[in-house]
């Protein structure tokens, strides 16, 4: 090997050593998982596992279980009635998503609830009630099957919520298969939004 060949070989060896040194010194960059780049709503892994076991998903984007407060039984209408549901405060037009899988049984506008919808569980044992919405998700229709996390609508202040009192009223009712969307026994949803599993 000639003098020029030895020089080229030495340069290549020095370059390789430098590259290896950089790999050792530079911090490792974590790879982005499929979850971190997904366009789906962010739901902690623990919550996704809980949903599969019958625990309700928090239905308002950006609200954690620890942020919820139990408003069941709070006085309403100057003490004339007790509150039957969990109110979840959030900015106007925050996405509202299905707390559990089911079928959209009714889209309904009322004086009290404003723009509302009712989703029935696949076994018809539960009705999930979403009230005071600003609007429904585009294309949402009665009879539509939804999965937990599906976009249903947006937080609003319709009905008797009060202007500027943006929140989702989430209700839960225990039903039998022969009952209608407006029937059933109201149940405090807070424990189930907080992580307790729905009874079978």
Give the pair of three-digit tokens for residue 150. Answer: 């599906």
Q: Which domain holds residue 138?
A: 34-193
Q: What's the rounded Cα separation, in Å, for the pair 79 and 81?
A: 5
pLDDT at 16: 55
Count of structural domains, the chain: 1
Looking at the domain assignment, is residue 27 inside a domain?
A: no
Looking at the domain assignment, is residue 64 inside a domain?
A: yes
Looking at the domain assignment, is residue 20 inside a domain?
A: no
Contacts of 123 (CB under 8 A, 6+ apart): 177
Q: What's the rounded Cα separation, in Å, for the pair 42 and 36?
A: 8
Q: What's the rounded Cα separation, in Å, for the pair 55 and 33?
A: 25
Contacts of 131 (CB under 8 A, 6+ apart): 85, 112, 113, 114, 115, 116, 159, 168, 169, 170, 171
Residue 138: CATH number of its domain: 2.70.70.10
Evaluate if pTM is beyond 0.85.
no
> What's the Rg (C-alpha) of the chain?
26
pLDDT at 46 over 70: no
Q: What's the rounded Cα separation, in Å, for the pair 53 and 131?
A: 25
Instruction: Calculate what percentage of the chain has a pLDDT beyond 70.
Output: 68
Mean of all residue pLDDT scores within the chain = 79
Which residue would you say has higher pLDDT here, 158 or 35? Answer: 158
Give the pair of three-digit tokens for residue 166. Answer: 């943006």
Looking at the domain assignment, is residue 28 inside a domain?
A: no
Looking at the domain assignment, is residue 101 inside a domain?
A: yes
Q: What's the rounded Cα separation, in Å, for the pair 18 and 176?
A: 72
Which residue would you say has higher pLDDT here, 182 or 38? Answer: 182
b/e burial code for range 2-35 (CB count within 10 A of at least 16 → b): eeeeeeeeeeeeeeeeeeeeeeeeeeeeeeeeee
Nearest to 56, CA basis, from 26, 25, 97:
97
pLDDT at 85: 84
pLDDT at 15: 60
pLDDT at 37 over 70: no
pLDDT at 49 over 50: no
Q: pLDDT tens across 77-127, in order?
A: 566 666 678 899 999 999 999 999 999 999 999 998 999 999 999 999 999
């Amino acid at each position: 090997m000639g003098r020029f060949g030895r020089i080229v070989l030495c340069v290549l060896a020095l370059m390789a050593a430098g590259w290896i040194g950089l790999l050792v010194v530079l911090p490792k960059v974590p790879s982005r998982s499929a979850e971190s780049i997904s366009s789906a709503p962010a739901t902690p892994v623990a919550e996704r596992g809980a949903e599969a076991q019958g625990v309700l998903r928090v239905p308002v984007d950006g609200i954690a279980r620890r942020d919820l407060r139990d408003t069941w039984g709070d006085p309403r209408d100057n003490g004339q009635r007790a509150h039957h549901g969990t109110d979840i405060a959030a900015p106007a037009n925050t996405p509202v998503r299905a707390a559990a899988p089911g079928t959209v049984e009714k889209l309904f506008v009322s004086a009290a609830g404003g723009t509302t919808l009712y989703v029935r569980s696949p076994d018809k044992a539960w009705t999930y009630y979403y009230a005071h919405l600003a609007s429904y998700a585009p294309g949402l229709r009665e009879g539509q099957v939804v999965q937990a996390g599906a976009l249903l609508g947006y937080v609003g202040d319709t009905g008797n919520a009060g202007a500027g009192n943006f929140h989702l009223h989430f209700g839960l009712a225990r039903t039998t298969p022969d009952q209608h969307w407006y029937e059933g026994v109201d149940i405090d949803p807070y424990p189930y939004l907080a992580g307790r599993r729905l009874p079978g």
